[in-house]
Amino acid sequence: MSIDTLPIPLREPLLLPHFPDILIVPGKDGLSIQRMPPWLATEIGLSEAQWQSQPVNTILEPHLPGIGELVEGVLRSGHQVRGYETELLNARGQRAHILLDGSPTAVGVTGRGVVVGIQMAAEGLPAIPSGTPPTFCGMVGRSPAMQKLFNKVRLYSAVDAPVLITGETGAGKEGVAQALHRLGSRTSKPFVAVNCSAISENLFESELFGHEKGSFTGAIRHHKGRFERADGGTLFLDEIGEIPMGFQAKLLRVLEDEMIERVGGEQPFKVDVRVIAATNRNLEDETRRKAFRADLYYRLGALLIHVPPLRERPDDLPDLVQHFIGALNERYGRNIVRMTPDALRLLQQYWWPGNVRELRNLMERLFAENLTEIISLRALREWYAERLQAMRNGVSYDPRVTILPHQVPIPMGMNHHGTGTVLSPDAESVAAARAQPAQGSPSPAVPKGTANLNEAAIRKAVAATHGNMTHAAKLLGVHKATLYRYLKAFNLNRDSL
């Protein structure tokens, strides 16, 4: 058997050094296939008569997502594109991560085309989840940080003490609160959620404790407060840090005595409620600034659960994407199958200031804009350009919000500045990426430890790692959070470095 007829063993490592190329040419009806190696035709289950001069979109795109995008980019720019990451899906439903190289070529006397080469991808591509992603009470995550969180939920659901959930906006704090309720003994009773930031200061007592008819202007009827409605169950106080100081003492008293009194009422009465609170603020700092009562913080924070931000668990992103694809398919009656590996890797490079909520909103958008069964890098082009523009306008939530252009193929129609037609990184960026020191390989020229953490050392480490703050922190021998504290103290940020 010659190399031309050897099928790809998709579940075995490939040892073949080279594969014959595909030739694609443009025509009035779009891109068409002029040449295909026999082994590829065998893998996708077609005879030569079935693919010869046929459209790329109908023949190859379902099996090599993004190949049309690659070819269009080469034709538009006139330049070679190397290392376009995608996957090969054969007729038996097996998948393999591969890299495509596209090169412009002359066809005939005046024609032009693109030669596409295939090679097996190296390590570093995100895994594509198969089947339904694993969930825990509706939460998705197999990373160590999320497994630690799930274990805490199991432990704390067995008791009735208050729980304080911390985490950034959109990280999934309410999902943790619902899991605590669902796994506990109160699961058959009400779960009542209240956003403390949405209640005006003069209505806090009425909203949480209720009021009697006629107790104040506008009180035209008896009103049950959130504590009373949650009796026997769980009350979730989201954004607890927004509660006014004047009300915090009353809330503490209810937590201690389990007794409430409606506004305008004369008799206190007992309620049986488990309180779970959540905040995106650092309440410990708030107590030091006298912006939050220390005794209330200690009462709420006896049991503490921290929800890690999405940027700290990028390995969970493929599962989250697949989870949202399944949920949105069911909601809208669609049949989107998956997202391509290069699109997933682009998402893993992003900082996600809005966390899982921002990812869910992006998936909603992609469902609205994407009509194919596979979400490719092209579908993220407009979103990518918007993120770059937001960073140029200083709108990003954090100076660390970034997509690293030297680590991921650039979507069609954009270069590193969001304009032009470059699909792949330029030579300077590639050289910088290759020169970046391997993780865990500190340079001896950079002094390590906080004792040596001065501005000059930070600048040297950031320059040596080409702006990768995680690697720079490792190079300096400190935690990344420590590095950012020193950056703030020296009034430095990524752009200035």
489/306: higher pLDDT: 306
Same fold, 3-120 and 144-306: no
d(CA 191, CA 235): 6
Asked if residue 171 lies in contact with residue 307, where contact means CB atoms within 8 angstroms, the answer is: yes
| Tens digits of residue pLDDT in 133-170 | 778 888 999 888 898 899 899 989 988 999 999 999 99
Q: Is 266 exposed, middle or buried (0-12, 13-18, 19+ CB in 10 A)?
A: exposed
Considering just the CA atoms, what is the radius of gyration of the chain in Å?
Answer: 28
DSSP string, 92-111: TS-EEEEEEEEEEEEETTTE
Q: pLDDT higher for 493 or 312? A: 312
Burial 273-298 (b: 16+ CB within 10 A, else e): bbbbbbbbeebeebbeeeebbeebbe
489 to each of 175, 248, 337, how far by Cα in Å? Answer: 36, 33, 47
Q: 152 or 470: whose pLDDT is higher?
A: 152
Residue 147 contacts residue 47 (beta carbons within 8 Å): no
Quote the tokens at residue 286: 């708030």
pLDDT band at 95 (very low <50, low <70, confident <90, very high): confident
Tens digit of each residue's pLDDT (9 = 90 or more) over 220-254 = 566 788 999 999 999 999 999 999 888 899 999 99
Amino acid identity, residue 47? S
Q: What is the DSSP letter of 4?
A: G
* Average pLDDT of the residues in 432-460: 53
Which residues have C-beta within 8 Å of that of residue 58, sequence separation ≥ 6? none
Which amino acid belongs to residue 4? D
The CATH topology of domain 3-120 is Beta-Lactamase (3.30.450)
Q: How confident is the model at residue 88 (pLDDT cuts 50, 70, 90)?
A: confident
Q: Give this prediction's pTM.
A: 0.60
Tens of pLDDT, residue by residue over 163-190, are 999 999 999 999 999 999 999 999 999 9
- Is 80 exceeded by the pLDDT of residue 396? no
Average pLDDT over residues 248-271: 85
- Mean pLDDT for 338-362 is 90
Indicate the range of 372-376, 382-386, 423-427 predicted with least confidence: 423-427
Q: Would you list the domain boundaries of the chain?
A: 3-120, 144-306
Q: Over 80: is that where the pLDDT of 284 sits? A: yes
- Top pLDDT among 152 and 457 is at 152
- In a 3-state reduction of DSSP, which class is residue 237? strand
Give how far the C-alpha of residue 213 lies from the chain's centroid of Cα atoms, to the nearest Å: 48
Q: Which two tokens stand for residue 300?
A: 């709420």
- Helix/strand/coil for 88: strand
pLDDT in tens, 405-432: 333 333 333 333 333 322 233 333 333 3
Cβ 447 vs Cβ 460: under 8 Å:
no
Lowest-pLDDT range of 273-277, 308-312, 321-325, 375-379: 375-379
* pLDDT at 126 (0 to 100): 54
The Cα angle at residue 187 between residues 183 and 188, in degrees rounded to 5: 155
- Residue 482 host element (H or E): helix 480-489
Beta bridge partners of 26: 31
The candidate with the shortest Cα–Cα distance to 79, out of 101, 57, 99, is 101
Give the residue, 438 or 373, on which the prediction is more confident.
373
What whole-number distance in Å separates Cα of residue 196 and Cα of residue 466?
43
Which has the closest alpha carbon to 278: 179, 193, 164, 376?
Answer: 164
Q: How far is CA 233 from CA 139, 184, 272, in A?
A: 21, 10, 7
**CATH architecture type of domain 144-306:** 3-Layer(aba) Sandwich (3.40)
> CA-CA distance, 454 to 461, in Å (whole number)?
11
pLDDT band, residue 131 (cuts 50/70/90): low
Strand residue runs (E) in 108-233: 111-120, 135-136, 139-140, 163-166, 191-195, 210-211, 223-224
DSSP states along 144-171 = HHHHHHHHHHHHHTTS-S-EEEE--TTS
Cβ atoms of 102 and 80 closer than 8 Å: yes
Task: Choose between 36 and 83: higher pLDDT.
Answer: 36
What pLDDT shows up at residue 356?
96
- pLDDT score at 324: 95
What's the confidence (pLDDT) of residue 412? Answer: 35
Task: Return the beta strands (E) in 244-331 as ranges.
Answer: 259-260, 269-270, 274-279, 303-306
